Structure 1
């Protein structure tokens, strides 16, 4: 979440009319769960539109998987409009993965600016991208599916997680509301809620680049989830038959019973 935003002069990317593959859009695709999900969707034969703020990293990923790179800050209306244009008139899968956590202070010591940033990216960013791509999802002829990447923090509270839990609760309720509102439309609306996932950047970003604090999150935990675990679950949800809606999938490592209750060997 400290990545630089793309330049407003980033080139517009038009879909190739000769490419007949089904289209998947993944936000926050430059690393972690987003990158793993983009790779796996490409393996399943999708034309993957990879969106993230770090233009160079997302371009490298797109080149690797034969996808399309779109530098995109999901809180920027112009960037989101460019993303929708690059995706094209039909989108089969939208994975709203852009998000993240900042800080671990108690509510009494909360930094309101960090809360605002978390809410803007996790909630308003998900809203903006979903709104922009909804017509293309409906146009997919009954195959369209939205997968919102939430968190167990969107279902349960834990000390020090106030700003992040507020944001992820927002994602959870937005997902439920959208499903109610689109009950008669040919679009499935789903959510995955991962627990502890050991990725390179999530905790490092949360603690402002403090490697020691970031490493302590996973210290002694036997077998935390990794990005590939979540990606496989996301792609499974997205590739169910069109009449099957996986409303909510909670996925945690065996060592984690709850956000605040984790088995550690040290």
Structure 2
């Protein structure tokens, strides 16, 4: 019979819920139509426009999301695996934000590398291609997790998988942040940290899979083979995409 898997503990809802407030404001009318007051009125108008932007509802929501995500990021960084076991569907947004952060940081790493070594095709080779291959890699990892759990005939929620996988990518994002700092200081250290971030992707895939009770009798094949296949496929995708980017860099160098 199918087993419904519930999170070990209810996750903090404060990470994904936010509210925004928009304070009313009014522009101060010009007290005199004289020419001498025009510069002041123009300055007031610019200030009021800037205040309008800052008090815009979407801007306020973005600020709240940033604050809440930073709190989430720091708390998950301390205990990523424990957090993975407690997150639920309501944390899917945080998972997506973490994946987007990893994709952006990988692209920034290549962009800084291209810039440091004066490679040509800076934007295409140093930003767009790494962005695409990282996005494809993370999407493939999620699809493989989904496929293995389906083969195991387990009950799960897709949004929960996104939240779980994303929470385990927080250390990868932290490693990439430090790697980007070290690009111009010590490229060897930066490169090692970059490699570590990709190792974490593999670890995250396997940690999420083994969080679920695999090797059920209803499974189509033994869990060892299904997990092995998932790892091999992810490695192949990552190798082909990363090799294409690195070989492209070497080609531009010569």
Please report the TM-score for the alignment, with normalisation by the length of structure 2.
Answer: 0.28
Structure with the higher fraction of residues in helix conformation: 2
TM-score normalised per structure 1: 0.27
Greater relative contact order: 1 or 2 (C-alpha under 8 angstroms, separation 6 or more)? 2
Structure possessing the higher radius of gyration over alpha carbons: 2
Higher strand residue share: 1
